[in-house]
Structure 1
Amino acid sequence: MSNLAFLSLIFTIFIYTYNAISLCNGPCKTWDDCDGQLICINGKCNDDPNGGTKICQSSPPSVPSPTPTNTCRPSSTVNCNGVHPIYRCSPHVTSSMPAQVTFNDFSKGGDFARCYRDGGGPSSCDGKYHNNNERIVALSIGWFPGRSRCGKMILIRSNNEKTVTAKVVDECDSTMGCDAEHAFQSPCKNNIVDGSITVWRALGLDTNLGIVPVTWSMV
């Protein structure tokens, strides 16, 4: 394409754009540049104050608030049967918090699962072992700040819509793992609700699954 033809094309596009009918707040020089009952005011198409129109004055559609992002990031990693992240935080708690429920034995000498109670020691909230017939849970470190949720009740909901309330009695350690103290297991993830078998049964879940997505909230 020659330079002359190219310039002609640009000029044609400019003229067409300039002559296009403008809507609310669109550019204009005369009333004819504006659509319908809109008039040109200070170089922009708007409602005619004398005509009483409210085409451009209606409330703009509400814009949903942005979804909060999870700013919790691993502080480091540890290597045992693969590289595992270490967390000192958990996702920000909301009214319906996505999590993963894991299975833990809270009794003395109980099997390890996802909650690492100092080599099978008592729960950190009350210094006691617990019967697995209790509806009890351990929470990831960021959801257990300074033991502030000790003894508090949470509501857990599974994807099958079954719910259960359970008492927080322990922390699921996200900061350490892969050593004798933690049965050489990897650190807890930062979004864990670690429940007794009674919690799993109340939710209608199969403990053989090991880890299942749920949501939880404070009661």
Structure 2
Amino acid sequence: MALKVLGPLSIILLLLPYVANAVSSCGESCNTLDDCSGNLICINGNCNDDPDVGSHECSGSGGGGGCSPAGNLQCGDNTYTTYTCSPRVTSSTAAKLTNNDFSEGGDGGSPSECDGNFHDNSERVVALSTGWYAGGSRCGKMISITAKNGKTTTAKVVDECDSMNGCDDEHAGQPPCHNNIVDASDAVWKALGLNKDIGTVHVTWAMAYIV
């Protein structure tokens, strides 16, 4: 049987599944950098765009919840990647838990954005990265946070963990937040049975619908 010579269009069609597979890996689970295709990297157990490379394969992908960098902010000798978005919120959204002092004079800087008040360290309150804060639409709402030790607690959203601005008096000199941060009070860390001195731990969170 004679071999059929494929035209340019046929070759493109044959290659399409490969391209689709590469893009479809956005948001899929991973353990190492080798688990992600193309220029994607493994972030919090999911394949996503690499901000250092500037890849945009996951940008706008509804399934993967990709989020591309908005730019960079120069803070002295350091350069930080800025974001206006965050990964897509699901029933178990991967995040990094950090610690914040929301009281007056604490490292949170200005009063909380949602209510204009400072909050005692005994309150279970959080600030969410800019994308998750969503222009204040989650202000006053409760979220559920689960640590890898199996413990879960709820906390009220009172502030934004600014992913676009930082290194100034308003932000107590701190650099901009990454796009996947749940910045929590001492009370949240205590409720989760975690030592805040660790600095950063991996958690998952979701909206807590109280009935």
Common topology (TM > 0.5): yes
Asked if residue 135 in structure 1 is aligned to residue 124 in structure 2, the reply is: yes
2:99 aligned partner? 103
Structure with the greater alpha carbon radius of gyration: 1
Mean alpha-carbon deviation: is it higher for 92-101 or for 171-180?
171-180
Matches within 5 A, 1:8-19: none
Question: In structure 1, what is the Cα distance between the partners aligned to 2:138 and 2:88?
Answer: 15
Output the amino acid matched with 1:218: M
Selected match of 1:170 from 119, 141, 159: 159
Matches within 5 A, 1:120-131: 120-131=109-120
Output the amino acid matched with 2:165: M
**Cα displacement string for residues 9-28 of structure 1 (whole angstroms, at most 9, x for unaligned residues):** xx8xx9xxxxxxxxxxxxxx
Asked if residue 73 in structure 1 is aligned to residue 68 in structure 2, the reply is: yes
Question: In structure 2, what is the Cα distance between the partners aligned to 1:152 and 1:183?
Answer: 25
Q: Secondary structure at the match of 2:187?
A: helix
Q: Secondary structure at the match of 2:65?
A: coil
Output the amino acid matched with 1:208: D
Matches within 5 A, 1:27-42: none
Question: In structure 1, what is the Cα distance between the partners aligned to 2:169 and 2:124?
Answer: 28
Cα RMSD over matched residues?
A: 1.9
**Cα displacement string for residues 113-165 of structure 1 (whole angstroms, at most 9, x for unaligned residues):** xxxxxxx2211111111111011111111111121111111100000001101
Question: In structure 2, what is the Cα distance between the partners aligned to 1:144 and 1:188?
Answer: 12
Indicate the percent of aligned positions where both proteins have the same amino acid. Answer: 57
Contact 1:78-1:178 at 8 Å conserved across structures:
no
Q: Secondary structure at the match of 2:189?
A: helix
Output the amino acid matched with 1:71: G
Q: Once superposed, which parts of structure 1, at least 4 consecutive aligned residues long, lie more than 4 Å away?
A: none
Question: In structure 1, what is the Cα distance between the partners aligned to 2:199 and 2:114?
Answer: 24
Selected match of 1:83 from 75, 79, 83: 79
2:42 aligned partner? none
Question: In structure 2, what is the Cα distance between the partners aligned to 1:180 and 1:111?
Answer: 11
CA shift for structure 1 position 200:
0.3
Question: In structure 2, what is the Cα distance between the partners aligned to 1:180 and 1:90?
Answer: 24
Matches within 5 A, 1:50-65: none
Contact 1:138-1:194 at 8 Å conserved across structures:
yes
- Runs of 5+ consecutive residues of structure 2 not aligned to the other structure: 4-26, 29-62
Question: In structure 2, what is the Cα distance between the partners aligned to 1:72 and 1:105?
Answer: 28
**Cα displacement string for residues 51-98 of structure 1 (whole angstroms, at most 9, x for unaligned residues):** xxxxxxxxxxxxxxx852232111101123432100001111111100
Asked if residue 152 in structure 1 is aligned to residue 141 in structure 2, the reply is: yes
Mean alpha-carbon deviation: is it higher for 206-215 or for 174-183?
174-183
CA shift for structure 1 position 170:
0.7
Q: TM-score, normalised by structure 2?
A: 0.67
Question: In structure 1, what is the Cα distance between the partners aligned to 2:107 and 2:144?
Answer: 25
Q: Secondary structure at the match of 1:94?
A: coil
Question: In structure 1, what is the Cα distance between the partners aligned to 2:94 and 2:180?
Answer: 8
